[in-house]
A = this chain, B = another copy of it.
Amino acid sequence: MSTDETKLARVALTWLAEPGTRSVYALVEQIGPVGALDLLLSGGAPERTLRSAVAARAAAGDARAVAAEALTRGERLGARLVTPDDDEWPAQVRDLRRLALSGATRRVDVETDPPLCFWVRGAWPLGETLAHSVAVVGARAATPYGSHVATELGYGLADREWTVVSGGAFGIDSAAHRGALTAGGRTVAVLACGVDRPYPMGNAALFDRIAETGLLVSEWMPGAEPLRPRFLIRNRVIAAATRGTVLVEAAARSGATQTLNRALGLRRHAMVVPGPVTSAMSVGGHEVLRERPDARLVTNLAHVLEEVGRIGYDLTPPARAPERPRDRLDEEATQVLEALPRRRALDLESVAARAGVDLRTAMRKLSLLEELAMVVRRDGGYALAPPPASPT
């Protein structure tokens, strides 16, 4: 069988049945793409739903001719087809074989097998680009807060030479891509339609920039329409292709939370940026954090790198308030310092009594505090030193 015949069969199969269909992927595994295509076209699909879906599609056109036309069209617009036979195939998407979403009943949650092929626009090899990648996903109707956070994360990840992966929607997706582009890094938009089809139209210029410096990727052939279920079908690829997924903002029961569920199902790092509880756009993320103990709350780039980073790299120190001189005092010195009233001076005996230490200790600690310029002698006693003047 020629490579071209195999490629053509993969494209035709993706047109006949939506990507992810388990019985199609299983057939391809068993008898190869060409055999699988022959079987489907001769009405031999193993299950009824698939048979009627294939029949409906086949009634609308010749699958091989459609695929051949797509390959020509792809070539014309500079989109290449990448299949598992190519060196640049991202092997990690094969993990989708073992994805089983709990409580799945909808077709998009059940039919989550690996892609048969990818259409790619952009110069970088697909596999290498995705090997070291993090998905940043979230709502179309993002708030300025969410867009800000997604831009910062996109920028920071790209700046640390991680590839940013997202969809092509307005809101969080666009913000993450823009951040990565600003950092001069690589960003990948995984689309739910043909890579030649700017959807939404308003992102056409963004897609062109991404194709120049990163990659536009799709399972669907050039010209394919962004039908609604395709966004959810596509989401499994975003989760599977990356080391982890960060959810920035999402309404309850939204597509972005479902990308995160797929990441969780694949045992990829699933991260959520919290937000104000007064924002509807943070409800989805908070719900995931409440329901899934394996989802991790992240608030900044360091937290994300701590999750996905290589051991020994990219580790984050815990958040700390700035150190103050008094943090270095021992317990008794602290007690003595805290026994001094805000304004008045106190004699030695009163300081000792208030601090609950003996006179000798009080005297020793007051001397230390004097040396540290935290205490001054005044009115025959001891008082807090005035705060240092602010720098001018």
Interface residues in chain A, defined as those with a beta carbon under 8 Å from any beta carbon in chain B: 17-18, 52-53, 55-57, 59-61, 106-107, 145, 148-149, 225, 227-229, 251-254, 273-278, 282-284, 286-287, 289-291, 293, 296-297, 299-300, 303, 318-321, 331, 334-335, 338-339, 341, 349-350, 352-359, 361-362
Within the complex, the shortest CB–CB distance from A264 to chain B, in Å, comes to 16
Contact residue among B277, B319, B352 (Cβ-Cβ distance under 8 Å from A275): B277
Within the complex, the shortest CB–CB distance from A221 to chain B, in Å, comes to 14
Determine whether the beta carbon of B56 is less than 8 Å from that of A359: yes
How many Å lie between the Cα of A101 and that of B57 in the bound state?
Answer: 66
Determine whether the beta carbon of A278 is less than 8 Å from that of B148: yes
Closest 3 CB pairs of A and B: A60-B353, A274-B274, A53-B356
A145-B278, A277-B274 known; A319 vs B287 contact (CB < 8 Å): yes
Determine whether the beta carbon of B273 is less than 8 Å from that of A277: yes
Determine whether the beta carbon of B56 is less than 8 Å from that of A276: no
Please name the residue on chain B nearest to A299 by beta carbon: B277
Question: Could you give 23 example pairs across A and B, Cβ below 8 Å?
Answer: A56-B357, A56-B358, A56-B362, A57-B353, A59-B353, A60-B352, A61-B353, A107-B335, A145-B276, A225-B354, A227-B338, A227-B339, A227-B354, A228-B338, A229-B335, A253-B319, A253-B321, A274-B274, A274-B275, A274-B289, A290-B296, A290-B297, A290-B303
Contact residue among B107, B299, B303, B319 (Cβ-Cβ distance under 8 Å from A331): B107
Secondary structure call for the A interface:
helix
How many Å lie between the Cα of A274 and that of B253 in the bound state?
Answer: 19
Determine whether the beta carbon of B252 is less than 8 Å from that of A319: yes
List the B side residues contacting A287 at CB < 8 Å.
Answer: 318-319
Please name the residue on chain B nearest to A358 by beta carbon: B52
Most chain B CB inside 10 Å of its own CB: which residue of A59, A106, A254, A353: A353
How many Å lie between the Cα of A290 and that of B306 in the bound state?
Answer: 12
List the B side residues contacting A338 at CB < 8 Å.
Answer: 227-229
List the B side residues contacting A252 at CB < 8 Å.
Answer: 319-321
Determine whether the beta carbon of A149 is less than 8 Å from that of B53: no
Please name the residue on chain B nearest to A251 by beta carbon: B321
Please name the residue on chain B nearest to A58 by beta carbon: B353
Determine whether the beta carbon of A320 is less than 8 Å from that of B253: yes
Please name the residue on chain B nearest to A18 by beta carbon: B356
Within the complex, the shortest CB–CB distance from A334 to chain B, in Å, comes to 8
A149-B277, A319-B287, A357-B52 known; A59 vs B352 contact (CB < 8 Å): yes
Most chain B CB inside 10 Å of its own CB: which residue of A149, A286, A338, A341: A286
Within the complex, the shortest CB–CB distance from A122 to chain B, in Å, comes to 29
How many Å lie between the Cα of A362 and that of B57 in the bound state?
Answer: 13
Contact residue among B253, B254, B283, B358 (Cβ-Cβ distance under 8 Å from A55): B358
Within the complex, the shortest CB–CB distance from A302 to chain B, in Å, comes to 11
List the B side residues contacting A55 at CB < 8 Å.
Answer: 358
List the B side residues contacting A357 at CB < 8 Å.
Answer: 52-53, 56
Within the complex, the shortest CB–CB distance from A110 to chain B, in Å, comes to 10
Please name the residue on chain B nearest to A253 by beta carbon: B321
Within the complex, the shortest CB–CB distance from A99 to chain B, in Å, comes to 19
How many Å lie between the Cα of A320 and that of B148 in the bound state?
Answer: 26
Most chain B CB inside 10 Å of its own CB: which residue of A229, A299, A349: A299
How many Å lie between the Cα of A59 and that of B358 in the bound state?
Answer: 9
How many Å lie between the Cα of A286 and that of B275 in the bound state?
Answer: 10
Most chain B CB inside 10 Å of its own CB: which residue of A55, A300, A350, A358: A358
Contact residue among B229, B251, B299 (Cβ-Cβ distance under 8 Å from A286): B299
Determine whether the beta carbon of B277 is less than 8 Å from that of A56: no
